[in-house]
Structure 1
Amino acid sequence: MFKNRLYLSITFLLLLVFATACGNTDNTEPSKKTEDKNAEVKLQDAMGEVTIPANPKRILAPYLEDSLLALGVKPAAQWSIGDTVLDYLQPELKGVPKIGWDLPLEQAISNNPDLIIFSSPTAIQKGQYEEYKKVAPTYVFKDEVSADWRKQVTQMGEILNKQKKAKDALAKYDTKVSEAKAKIQDAIDGESAAIIWVMADKFYLMENNRFSANVLYGDLGIKQPAFVEGLGKAAIQWDPIALEKLPEIKADHIFLVSKKGEPGLDILAKSSIWNGLDAVKNGHVYEMNDPSNWTINGLIASEKTIDEVVKALTK
């Protein structure tokens, strides 16, 4: 009898301790969750000091989707002009609704964001910064940060409290560059390359500091044709290049960036000038039928460009 009472007493005490522990957990956990949910951080942006949620869930960041996705974050809606979207990101953005490129105020409201991010002060249409702030906390990138995708990814890491993920993504990219450079060097041994973007019936030669040319010449170290090098940073206005001037480029390899069906492609195919280029005669022209990652600055865009360059030059 004594033993039975002893066992019952011990069992009762254990149950009491367990119940007390559970009670303490239940009492403290909700307040912790509430505290995390309501946490805020203060940052400096192009407009001054801004207070934003520490862990936003619904983010609108038109034309900055590359940096978001590089950190594993899907936006609440994606940039578009009509039916045009960033094609190279569609595998990651499948099912994500579209918003207008200029983020109309009513679209911002209807998407119920926790955070709005603009790429620059000039990206805010009609001077409606104060109106956007009423919809959700609004962060505006400085021009010099937005223009450099590495800085953009780093700053996006600060905004989204994902600093380590940003650092790791940049380190992974640097490793990819090193491996790609070695393969390309073995394949073309110091030969030059140029990028020509065909849009409608016009031809645009990428200067050495524009979009994917930064990847080609800056990251991968591919030799610039003297003609491209001569353009330098002086080219502010991006004018099309005349068909008659294409022989002056003298590139060993040409990346022809264009959507299928552009009239300019047909013009080139029928042109004796184009067909007389060494790169064309030697079979060193590589058609890139998705220009979207070649005509934007971004980490994922640059990774895709590297993959396509390596595939083209190391066949």
Structure 2
Amino acid sequence: MLFQYHTLLWNHAALRVQDVRHAILQPGESLRAYQLPASAFLYTVRGKAHVLIDENEYAVDRCYVCHAGKGAFLDIAQVVEAFEYYLVFYTAVLTTPYCQKLVHRHQTSNPFQVQYGFAPQFPTPLFLGIEQMNRQWQQIGTLEQFHVKALFHQFVYELLHQLQEQGGETTQPNLVAQAMRYIEGRYAEPITLNSLAAVLDCNARQLQRLFKARLHVGPIEYLIQVRLDKAKALLQQTNVPLKQIAEAVGYTDSYYFSRMFKKYMGVSPSLFKELAWQRNDRRHNPSRLSQFPIVARRLRRYSDIGDDENHYQYKNEGALHMYRSSKASLAISLMLSLVLLLGACSGTSGGGGASPTNSVNVQPAVTRGEADNANTAGKTAESTQRSIQHLKGELVLEQKPEKIVVLDYQYIDQLLALGEQPIGSVIATSDSSVFPEYLTDKLDDVKVLGTKEEPNLEAIIEVAPDLIICTEFQEKVYEKLIKIAPTLMFDRNEDWRTMLLKFGQIVAKEQEAQKVLEGYDQKIADLKAALADKLNGQTVALIRPRDNMIRLHTTGHRTAEILYRDLGLSAPKMAVNNEQTSLPISLEVMPELNADHLFVLKDDSNTELTDEFQKTSVWKGLNAVQANQVYTVNTTMWIGYYGPIAINLVVDEIAEALL
């Protein structure tokens, strides 16, 4: 255990006791699959039992202490005599100032998430401390609550001291196992990558990376697999309506469920059910049923745990395949082969990376009727060559592309600003709506192609694009993309002005792009003068509650630049940082930020956390709050859809708030 760094992190953390509980399990009773809502210490006083925290098992006899982080699953079983224990739940956030090295340690070895258990050599001080905490917690006075906080600090010190003396070892939480167990138990509930990460108190990208490394699919793909396997079992074993089956596995829209089922299984749910019942699989061939039960998986029996155990969700270290039929896979393979064959016959380069100077003849796919109408109307294609520089080299467009796919949702905004729209796009996951309200009325039948983290290649093939536009987020699938259509890759954080001019070049609307920029510059010039007169040096900050902390967007952030660079507003000293785009700070540090005006980014993923922060005395005591100068704005529009339409709306909201 890295006691030196863990102690430093404990020293820099703002600790808050969330709950203290006392319970007794009688022989034969158990606690099953309890997911910790916060980091917790388990202290046992008497009795014998087996305690399981995720995959770590402890044979507990009388005085014993365990620790686990938020999201871990706790099981207590094989209680042979009265088993008495305490649970202390707490949260911990780092407070500034702290060095980046410490932040890195927190990310790689978080003492508030690690798991361990040991029998303390001197249990009495720990028992007295936790028993007093429990008594004080039952009181309703604020002074008693403060006493609990002081007692908790003493308890943690005593525990860490004994753990260090006894040479205790800690274990990093198995986030993949936790996520799999959560998904298998709650697959019928709305689950997104961000909500899953929030439950497990981890970073969404980290969770995605761990899933890919262990199972070769992302969490959402795994969720889809679980849901469809449950659906298969219900179709085989019951005769309930399709709508009820869809709802039972987490899909409120039965039509969408049918599309998903056919996409991954190769046949519709109705046909699958008909074939299954014809074979009488429901009663006579249980070996063909889904490997997942209809109800949540029963907890492992402790007596069965051994080296030869083959529990799928814990032991599978190989590839985890989606259960698509060979028919569907064959169709996709044929489509890809056809794309490659046509590309070889035309002698063109797909993405411009290997042969950066090759030209690509990008032509929209049209029907014979459309071609006749086009000829009748005298419509002609753009013929001027345009050479587009991108991260992979150069791509030469012979004609204007008509069927564009974008794999970053901010590019929808760029195209709409020029009077164009993509035929398909990935979506954001921070809001429940597919596309933001400010764009919905401008969009016409744009196909959803997954998320920027997990673009759906099959769906991209289906829409048959002339051109694909992606960012470095799709680096791993770039070679597959260029086999589907010519592909441009741009830096996701490139200035929106630069990207608008780039899109103007792509769709042959350079003059329109220039006019949009000129209009923005004029709006900014007028507003900048008005704000200078009104605010007279008052500071403005942009924050986003996230991951149990507050993300302060600095002067280096692309949206914050609107406030500080474009409009010339004053940033608090803490926010002046051009090297990092954001800084994590705790709620307790907000008074030090001391901003006169606060713009708070809020979306579906952080509504609960934001509301929780705003109820605290720390928040209510902020200067901006007391002056009624806090403005809640939409995260998706402010930082997700980074294009001229969103930027202009952001500027309008700033003007409305500050003038």
SS at match of 1:154: helix
CA contact (8 A) 2:423 2:445 kept: no
Aligned to 1:10: none
Q: Does 1:97 align with 2:447?
A: yes
Q: Does 1:134 align with 2:486?
A: no
Structure holding more helix per residue:
1
**Given residue 184 of structure 1, which amino acid in structure 2 is its aligned partner?**
L
2:524 to 168, 177, 198: 177
Following superposition, the deviation at residue 72 of structure 1 comes to 1.3
Alpha carbons of 1:52 and 1:271: their partners in 2 closer, same or farther (altered >3 Å)? same
CA contact (8 A) 1:60 1:115 kept: yes
Aligned to 1:50: 395
Q: Does 1:109 align with 2:490?
A: no
Alpha carbons of 1:103 and 1:163: their partners in 2 closer, same or farther (altered >3 Å)? same
CA contact (8 A) 1:62 1:79 kept: yes
Range with greater deviation from structure 2 (46-55 or 64-73): 46-55
Alpha carbons of 1:171 and 1:38: their partners in 2 closer, same or farther (altered >3 Å)? closer
CA contact (8 A) 1:203 1:264 kept: no
**Given residue 447 of structure 2, which amino acid in structure 1 is its aligned partner?**
P
How far, CA to CA, are the matches of 1:90 and 1:117 in structure 2?
21
Following superposition, the deviation at residue 206 of structure 1 comes to 0.9
SS at match of 1:99: strand
Alpha carbons of 1:89 and 1:100: their partners in 2 closer, same or farther (altered >3 Å)? same
How far, CA to CA, are the matches of 1:36 and 1:158 in structure 2?
15
SS at match of 2:498: helix
**Given residue 134 of structure 1, which amino acid in structure 2 is its aligned partner?**
K
SS at match of 2:439: helix
SS at match of 1:147: coil
CA contact (8 A) 2:556 2:579 kept: no
How far, CA to CA, are the matches of 2:508 and 2:551 in structure 1?
39
CA contact (8 A) 1:67 1:156 kept: yes
Alpha carbons of 1:215 and 1:37: their partners in 2 closer, same or farther (altered >3 Å)? closer
Alpha carbons of 1:112 and 1:221: their partners in 2 closer, same or farther (altered >3 Å)? same
CA contact (8 A) 1:115 1:137 kept: yes
Following superposition, the deviation at residue 56 of structure 1 comes to 1.3
SS at match of 1:57: coil
**Given residue 588 of structure 2, which amino acid in structure 1 is its aligned partner?**
E
How far, CA to CA, are the matches of 1:239 and 1:223 in structure 2?
18
How far, CA to CA, are the matches of 2:428 and 2:528 in structure 1?
35
Percent pairwise identity: 31
SS at match of 2:578: helix
Alpha carbons of 1:200 and 1:234: their partners in 2 closer, same or farther (altered >3 Å)? closer
CA contact (8 A) 2:588 2:618 kept: yes
Following superposition, the deviation at residue 158 of structure 1 comes to 1.2
Following superposition, the deviation at residue 41 of structure 1 comes to 3.8
Higher alpha-carbon Rg: 2
**5+ residue gaps, structure 1:** 1-28
1:269 to 577, 598, 614: 614
How far, CA to CA, are the matches of 2:599 and 2:528 in structure 1?
17
Relative to the length of structure 2, the TM-score reads 0.39
Alpha carbons of 1:118 and 1:216: their partners in 2 closer, same or farther (altered >3 Å)? same
Q: Does 1:147 align with 2:494?
A: yes
Alpha carbons of 1:305 and 1:147: their partners in 2 closer, same or farther (altered >3 Å)? same
SS at match of 1:36: coil
Q: Deviations over 1:254-291 (max 9, x none)?
A: 11121367122222222111111111111111122x21
**Given residue 280 of structure 1, which amino acid in structure 2 is its aligned partner?**
V
SS at match of 1:240: strand
SS at match of 2:639: coil
Following superposition, the deviation at residue 61 of structure 1 comes to 1.4
Aligned to 1:207: 554
How far, CA to CA, are the matches of 2:435 and 2:560 in structure 1?
19
How far, CA to CA, are the matches of 1:256 and 1:201 in structure 2?
15
How far, CA to CA, are the matches of 1:196 and 1:43 in structure 2?
36
How far, CA to CA, are the matches of 1:86 and 1:34 in structure 2?
32
Aligned to 1:224: 571
**Given residue 426 of structure 2, which amino acid in structure 1 is its aligned partner?**
W
Alpha carbons of 1:52 and 1:256: their partners in 2 closer, same or farther (altered >3 Å)? same
**5+ residue gaps, structure 2:** 1-373
Following superposition, the deviation at residue 184 of structure 1 comes to 2.0
Aligned to 1:284: 629
Q: Does 1:247 align with 2:599?
A: no
Following superposition, the deviation at residue 196 of structure 1 comes to 1.2
SS at match of 1:304: helix
Q: Deviations over 1:212-269 (max 9, x none)?
A: 211111111111112212xx12326x45310110011111111112136712222222
Alpha carbons of 1:282 and 1:31: their partners in 2 closer, same or farther (altered >3 Å)? closer
Following superposition, the deviation at residue 62 of structure 1 comes to 2.2
SS at match of 1:283: coil
Following superposition, the deviation at residue 204 of structure 1 comes to 1.0
Alpha carbons of 1:305 and 1:37: their partners in 2 closer, same or farther (altered >3 Å)? closer
Relative to the length of structure 1, the TM-score reads 0.79
CA contact (8 A) 2:550 2:585 kept: yes
**Given residue 199 of structure 1, which amino acid in structure 2 is its aligned partner?**
R
CA contact (8 A) 1:86 1:292 kept: no
SS at match of 2:441: helix
CA contact (8 A) 1:81 1:100 kept: no
SS at match of 2:442: helix
SS at match of 1:234: coil
Alpha carbons of 1:209 and 1:78: their partners in 2 closer, same or farther (altered >3 Å)? same
Alpha carbons of 1:99 and 1:84: their partners in 2 closer, same or farther (altered >3 Å)? farther
Following superposition, the deviation at residue 173 of structure 1 comes to 0.8
Pairwise CA RMSD: 2.7
**Given residue 107 of structure 1, which amino acid in structure 2 is its aligned partner?**
A
How far, CA to CA, are the matches of 2:443 and 2:404 in structure 1?
13
Aligned to 2:510: 163
Alpha carbons of 1:45 and 1:60: their partners in 2 closer, same or farther (altered >3 Å)? same
Following superposition, the deviation at residue 81 of structure 1 comes to 4.4
SS at match of 1:93: coil
Q: Deviations over 1:23-50 (max 9, x none)?
A: xxxxxx9599697367754433222232
How far, CA to CA, are the matches of 1:166 and 1:69 in structure 2?
11
Range with greater deviation from structure 2 (256-265 or 220-229): 256-265
**Given residue 61 of structure 1, which amino acid in structure 2 is its aligned partner?**
V
1:192 to 522, 528, 539: 539
**Given residue 485 of structure 2, which amino acid in structure 1 is its aligned partner?**
A
**Given residue 126 of structure 1, which amino acid in structure 2 is its aligned partner?**
K
Aligned to 1:14: none
